[in-house]
Amino acid sequence: MKVTIIGLGLIGGSMAIALRKSGMATSLLGIDLSPAHAAKAVQLGIVDRMISENELSQSDLVIISIPVDACCVLLPTVLNLISPTAVVMDMGSTKNLICKTIAAHPNRQQFVAAHPIAGTEFSGPEAAFFGLFEGKTNIVCERGKSSSYALGVAQKVFDSVGLKTIFMEPEEHDKHVAYVSHLSHVSSFLLGQTVLDIENDEKNIFDLAGSGFASTVRLAKSSPDMWAPIFEQNAEYLSQALLEYIMHLQKFQYFLQKRDTKELHKIMTKANDIKRILKN
């Protein structure tokens, strides 16, 4: 199968590596706006060569893994250019706008809207690695709007890289990821910012940072180019999640200021219930 990856970063690059290893891709082609990323991806052997959009018509499968705003712009063009038997999928972290964008496209049924819940705080082709998707969850939205052929090809791809696929409507998807993914990123970015701010006054503060801080602030290293468009597209749900989070923090701060340790203990005990979900 001739596969073109548009966007050779962490996700696209790791997809290419996995598809080559599994034998699904016999030929791997790349498109990337960044000449540096393109050169690196070829040098690392992630793709065989770079192509231009004109060559897209020769691909059996096109995987788009670029920031979600760019994806909304590019996807209609890609659907115009591909052969009638080709399949296109995206990997974006928001699904509502992208699905709306191509809802009326004549080739809509050749597209599968996917979101593999996988990643690290790193980006670019050097961040790509084999095994990123192994055992992770993948969400496919609007399955009814993809042809069964397209869904079949997509399923083979997901299986071959180790993704377990579940199905959801775009609104439901965006709401859920606002809480379990996007909010985590915001909390981490701003925890980092808060501590960097105080560092201006208090030198060597980071000598005291332990593994707990490192863990909660890890996502603050994530790429703003990737995340700003995600937050924009999911602004409504994320804003709501953020307000709820702020409300909880304010309540905690209120009890803290009152030295109401009993109430703080109660809040933490309730939060301990997260053990039920996170086994490790």
Check binding of 183 to a copy of itself (CB under 8 A): yes
Check binding of 209 to a copy of itself (CB under 8 A): yes
Check binding of 189 to a copy of itself (CB under 8 A): yes
- Paired tokens of 240: 């709501």
Residue number, 110 or 138, with CB nearest to a copy of itself = 138
- CB of residue 155 vs a copy of itself: minimum separation in angstroms? 18
Residue number, 72 or 242, with CB nearest to a copy of itself = 242
Which residues, 139 to 178, sit near a copy of itself by CB under 8 A?
139, 166, 173, 175-177
Q: What mask, x for binding a copy of itself by CB under 8 A, covers residues 250 to 279?
A: x-xx--xx-x-x--xx-xxxxxxxxx-xx-
Contact 14, 41 (CB under 8 A): no
Which residues, 227 to 246, sit near a copy of itself by CB under 8 A?
227-229, 231-232, 235, 238-239, 241-246
- CB of residue 62 vs a copy of itself: minimum separation in angstroms? 24
Check binding of 43 to a copy of itself (CB under 8 A): no
- CB of residue 212 vs a copy of itself: minimum separation in angstroms? 5
Number of chain positions touching a copy of itself (CB under 8 A): 90
In angstroms, the CA 266 to CA 95 distance is: 37
Which residues, 90 to 129, sit near a copy of itself by CB under 8 A?
117-121
Candidate segments 11-19, 21-29, 45-53, 217-225, binder of a copy of itself by CB under 8 A = 217-225
Which residues, 18 to 37, sit near a copy of itself by CB under 8 A?
none
Candidate segments 11-19, 31-39, 83-91, 134-142, binder of a copy of itself by CB under 8 A = 134-142
Helix axes 224-233, 235-257, angle to 10 degrees: 100
